[in-house]
Amino acid sequence: MNLSGRLIDAFLALEETRRFSIAARRCHVSPSAFSQMIGRLEEKVGTRLFDRDTRNVALTPEGEVFSSGAHRIAAEIHASMAELNERSLLRKGRVSIAAPPSLAAAWLPQLMANFKVDHPGIDIRLHDVVSDRCLDMIARGEVDLGLNAQRGNDLEFDTRLLFNERLYLICREDDPLAHLKQIRLSHLKDRDFIHTVRSGSVWQQMQGLLSGTKIRDSGLEVAQFGTLAGLISSGFGISIVPQLAVYLCNRPGLLACPINARKALRPIYIIKRKDRSLSAAAQAMWNQIEKSPPGGMLDK
């Protein structure tokens, strides 16, 4: 059975007013058109809903049964419309983001805090994950949007470049490289290099950047930048991290030196699924991220 909202509204108007003429005006139709609407409704449900004569209109027993469902439907529609209005005004909603740990540690939390000031009713979820997992979460619809150094498949993702961050060598203060005015990739020859995990964007970018450099593989591969800093501090080798991850490697006795190479940059993209519209809350967060790059946190 397909009952339109107009027919249910007509029923509720007549139930309340008990006058065809008044109910017709409330529904913005002529009395004759309104009478036809009630007739169509009764035809669809297969029984009379109103007893009426020239003076009185009253619900039949079946009309009283229908009234319960009609009021429930109207209440649910009203609640849904109120919820949609709150969401469209960004008073309510939820947005979930996936981002690499380097972004989730400094820049992104401040951006989220600013967003929360303007939209306190919106719930924000953050997942700090490596590159491959970030793309997977976006593809599966587990998050609304992601920040990533890998743009993914253009057929599957809608991707915008946000900014590029420089890559930095992390070494000990007593390392010979620490005293160079400029660090070139050629300076890394025959040095023990500590890798980050292969599912992360740093490792994936290092494969192209360090190709032909003849570094020595230390045999160490870590997931956390804090672990990386600990290994470097203990003399196990050197490594390269993006600029926003330097903060995570900060400890006494270590230095961060920018790499002087044209390709020593890590792009950061904002990404969503191409076939899925963002909610009002997620779109507002997307807009906030686009207009709020790290700025002073990055070298010019």
* 216 sits in which H/E element: strand 216-222
* Structural domains for the chain: 5-88 (1.10.10.10), 93-162+266-294 (3.40.190.10), 165-265 (3.40.190.10)
Express as a percent the part of the chain with pLDDT over 90.
73
Which of the 8 DSSP states describes residue 189?
T
Q: What is the pLDDT of residue 253?
A: 96
Provide the token pair at 62.
Answer: 């079946």
- 280-290 and 107-118 are packed helices; what angle lies between their axes, rounded to 10 degrees? 130
Q: What is the pLDDT of residue 205?
A: 81
Task: Report residue 165's pLDDT band, with 50, 70 and 90 as the boundaries.
Answer: very high
Strand positions, DSSP E, 5-133: 50-52, 57-59, 93-99, 122-128
The answer to whether residue 295 scores a pLDDT higher than 80 is no
**Where does residue 227 fall: left (phi above 0), alpha (psi -120 to 50 degrees), or beta otherwise?**
alpha
Q: What is the pLDDT of residue 234?
A: 96
Work out the average pLDDT over 274-300: 87
* 205 sits in which H/E element: helix 201-209
Q: What is the pLDDT of residue 198?
A: 82
The candidate with the shortest Cα–Cα distance to 159, out of 172, 146, 169, 170, is 146
Number of CB atoms found within 10 A of residue 134's CB: 28
Q: What is the pLDDT of residue 203?
A: 82
27-52 residue pLDDT tens: 999 999 999 999 999 999 999 999 98
Provide the token pair at 180.
Answer: 């160079």
Q: What is the pLDDT of residue 202?
A: 83
Which of the 8 DSSP states describes residue 182?
S
How far apart, in whole angstroms, are the C-alpha atoms of residue 18 and residue 56? 7
The answer to whether residue 18 scores a pLDDT higher than 80 is yes
Q: What is the pLDDT of residue 57?
A: 93
Residue 295: which residues within 8 A CB-CB, separation 6 or more? none
The candidate with the shortest Cα–Cα distance to 26, out of 42, 38, 10, 49, is 10
The answer to whether residue 175 scores a pLDDT higher than 60 is yes
Q: What is the pLDDT of residue 297?
A: 64
Q: What is the pLDDT of residue 1?
A: 62
Q: What is the pLDDT of residue 158?
A: 96
Work out the average pLDDT over 73-91: 85
The residue whose two tokens read 């919820």 is: 83
147-162 residue pLDDT tens: 999 888 989 999 999 9
The answer to whether residue 170 scores a pLDDT higher than 80 is yes
Task: Report residue 78's pLDDT band, with 50, 70 and 90 as the boundaries.
Answer: confident
More confident residue, 296 or 97: 97
Express as a percent the part of the chain with pLDDT over 70.
98
How far apart, in whole angstroms, are the C-alpha atoms of residue 292 and residue 94? 20
More confident residue, 86 or 240: 240
State CA 250 to chain mean position distance: 29
The answer to whether the beta carbons of residues 177 and 183 sit under 8 Å apart is yes
- 61-88 and 280-290 are packed helices; what angle lies between their axes, rounded to 10 degrees? 0
Please give the mean pLDDT across all residues of the chain: 91
222-232 residue pLDDT tens: 989 999 999 99
